[in-house]
Amino acid sequence: MNKKILYILSIVVTFGLMSCDKYLDTTPDNRTVLDSDEKVKELLTSAYPEMTYGLFCYSMSDNVADRGEGNEVFRNNEQGYFWEEFTETLQDSPSGYWESCYNAIAHANQALEFIESTKVEGDIPFEYLPYYGEALLVRAYCHFMLVNLWGQHYNPATADTDLGVPYVTEVEDVVFKDYKRETVAKVYELVEKDLLEGLKHIEDNAYDVPKYHFNVAAANTFASRFYQYKGEWQKVKDYATAALGAHPSAKLRDLAGKYNLMGINEQAAEYSKATEPANLMLTSNITYNFSLFQGLLRYGLSHDIFSKVFDNVFVQGASSNAWTQSAVTVSNNLVVWKWGYFFKRMDVNADIGLYYAMTPKIVAEEALFNRIEANVMLKKYTEAEDDLNLYFEKRLAPFTDENKVTEEKITERFSKDSHAASDLDPWYDLDEKTRTYLNCAIHTRRREFAYNGLRWFDIRRFNIKVIHEVNESTPVVLEAKDARKVLQIPAMAQQYGLEANNR
């Protein structure tokens, strides 16, 4: 799949055309009137963040390098690369994502308030239960994402004092309301309560297209991520297994087979389809974070990073050409080809509009890697190897007995090397063998989730140091426990009285 292609993309800057509701500033009488389960269902289609974290999280990670002058300088990409305070407030910005999450939470709370009012003798009517579960999961997920960007990563030793984010559980009945930051521990407690209750009621057959909602597999994968961050490994394994089902291989993205036979445009279309088994939950986002735009950014994938992360497949017997997720060339820059975009005009006669991407927010590969990590921490190393082989079977062509994962091969490459700028340093202890297997799992996971932002959360939870090279200048460094790993509370939220993070 070593294909090269040159694209020239003219991106229309549409910041001035976009508008976001201000932080938790929804006029109380400007709400949908709910009077049926169908209207609740319709309301919940708006209960997913329209903005996304992928681009700014990617820019802060160790998957990017300075590709030099002559490339597109996109402010969120540049400020993320240097770990500066973000000044944009709309698409692909932390502020935009913050607002979008709280807007989604407001929709979820409106749905929950109405559903609670339909109770008969204390019970929610059957027809409302799937939407009750969905609204709880949306509220849990949005708060979980917020606290893991604007709060410290969960550490049981400090979570009771670390500042988190406001956890909003009521529909606002005033235009401006005072909110306070809960502790990280409290946010996790409330997320878990909503998550577990919501999981009881999710029904895939309640939706025309379940993958545009929190379906059973997506909800279980989210649960596995939640307990992964808390370090409750048996629960991680149990929820990940529930998400993957009896035949996990059938749910993985078949890059070595089906995708390897496709052309570039066909791949991009397939990557974001609801019919793709690997896509467990998709959301439509206003964003520039799609494959083609990645080729224009100044701060993005370099040949050196690609060589370190993708080419050097550790499985013996597999050359670099065996790795099917190869890079293509866009505007002379390397891009690992993933999802595409669509352009929505402001009206039928307009030449301006917004770029959207149907982004895979929760995928089967995450559930698999969460289970791999759980098995490593539970010291079930053979089971971790089995799952790694399931993964590589879909990424290496050919995949034979000669290049299967074994303890010997993992030890040879990962016993002394995390393949990052520092060792993995989570809040829990690691013995030598566990660390070796974890190095393998987290490095392999890094290559799978290029661009979608998940690498940034691994950098936070493992206290990984990041070094960004600067063209013709001194590198910039984000230390292992750098305060800048916690995003600054958006300025407009601080104006409403929320305490800023220390810098």
What is the token pair recorded at 202?
């999710």
Question: Which pLDDT belongs to residue 437?
Answer: 98
Q: Supply the angle between the helices 129-150 and 94-117 in degrees, to the nearest 10.
A: 150
Averaged over successive runs of 10 residues, the pLDDT of the chain (503 residues) comes to 33 34 41 86 94 97 96 96 96 97 96 96 96 98 98 98 97 72 98 98 96 98 98 98 97 94 92 97 95 94 88 52 72 90 77 90 98 98 97 88 89 93 98 97 93 95 98 97 98 92 90
Question: Which pLDDT belongs to residue 235?
Answer: 98
Q: Where are the domains of the chain?
A: 248-471
**CB neighbours of 310 closer than 8 A, spacing ≥ 6?**
320, 323, 325, 326, 327, 336, 447
> For residue 141, which of 167, 113, 173, 177 has the smallest C-alpha distance?
167
- Cβ pair 330, 253 in contact under 8 A: no
195 class by beta-carbon count within 10 Å (0-12 exposed, 13-18 middle, 19+ buried): buried
User: pTM for this one?
Assistant: 0.92
- Cβ pair 342, 356 in contact under 8 A: yes
Question: Which pLDDT belongs to residue 33?
Answer: 84
Question: Which pLDDT belongs to residue 460?
Answer: 98
3-state secondary structure of 58: helix
Q: What backbone torsions phi and psi does residue 3 show, to the nearest 5 degrees? A: -115, 145
- CA 499 remoteness from chain centre: 26
What is the token pair recorded at 454?
């998940």
- Cβ pair 253, 278 in contact under 8 A: yes
Question: Which pLDDT belongs to residue 19?
Answer: 37
What is the token pair recorded at 455?
């690498």
- Cβ pair 275, 253 in contact under 8 A: no
- Cβ pair 459, 450 in contact under 8 A: no
